[in-house]
Amino acid sequence: MNQEAGAGVRTESDFEYLLTFLPPGWELKAKELGALRRCRKFHDAQVLLRILLIHLAEGCSLRETAVRARQGGLASVSDVAIMDRLRQAEEWFRWMNSELLAHWVVRQPRAVFGERWNLRVVDGTEVTEPGPTGSSWRIHYAIGLPSLRCSAVEVTGSRGPATARRSLDSPSTPATSSSGTGPTASRVGFTM
């Protein structure tokens, strides 16, 4: 699988390089946190991570991810199996991200802002079904920092004002700081 995947990307060496950034013990945590309970089709945590990243990082559909995994010799799995593993990998991904945040970010949000602020990141995107009569929705999502836990999610229609703005901006504590991007953003950067 040492092929050029386009634009100078060497899939094998690039993935190996990516692995050097992951926290120590990430493979063991896959089993401990339930992402890799049985190694039937996914032989190990590395294969599981690689397949999930095809879907998450490349933006491939679950079916296309299954096809790429099979063609790449990683695993012969269905789109449903990939979705099941993705659901089971939630805590594993959260653990890896929290460990990376602790390692790479010198001053954690609580150290900078203290307990006074409820810091979170807000994003929004528009999703459109294919075809001439496809429906469109806006998805609004907020995660708390540094926990990386979802603090709000809302799906609205694509017409009219961004109605989720009000509910995502309403503070859960007296002082909330949000950073927003996407179709619902009206603030740039952090506000306090």
pLDDT one-digit tens code per residue, 74-105: 999 999 999 999 999 999 999 998 898 888 77
For 89, counting Cβ atoms within 10 Å of its Cβ (0-12 exposed, 13-18 middle, 19+ buried), the class is: buried
Q: Strand order in 136-144's β-sheet? A: 150-157, 136-144, 118-128, 176-180
From 86, 104, 122, give the residue that closes a domain.
Answer: 104
Quote the tokens at residue 126: 């528009």
Q: Round to whole Å and give the CA distance between 121 and 104.
A: 18
From 89, 104, 119, give the residue that closes a domain.
Answer: 104
Domain-located, residue 67: yes
Q: Round to whole Å and give the CA distance between 3 and 71.
A: 13
88 & 150 share domain:
no
Specify the pLDDT at position 1: 42
Specify the pLDDT at position 62: 93
Tens of pLDDT, residue by residue over 137-173, are 888 888 887 777 888 888 888 776 554 444 455 444 4
Report how many domains make up the chain.
2
DSSP code, position 10 = B
Domain-located, residue 186: no
Q: What percent of the chain has pLDDT over 90?
A: 31
41 & 88 share domain:
yes
- Other beta carbons within 10 angstroms of residue 61's beta carbon come to 11
Specify the pLDDT at position 10: 56
Domain-located, residue 27: yes
Residues of the domain holding 151: 109-180
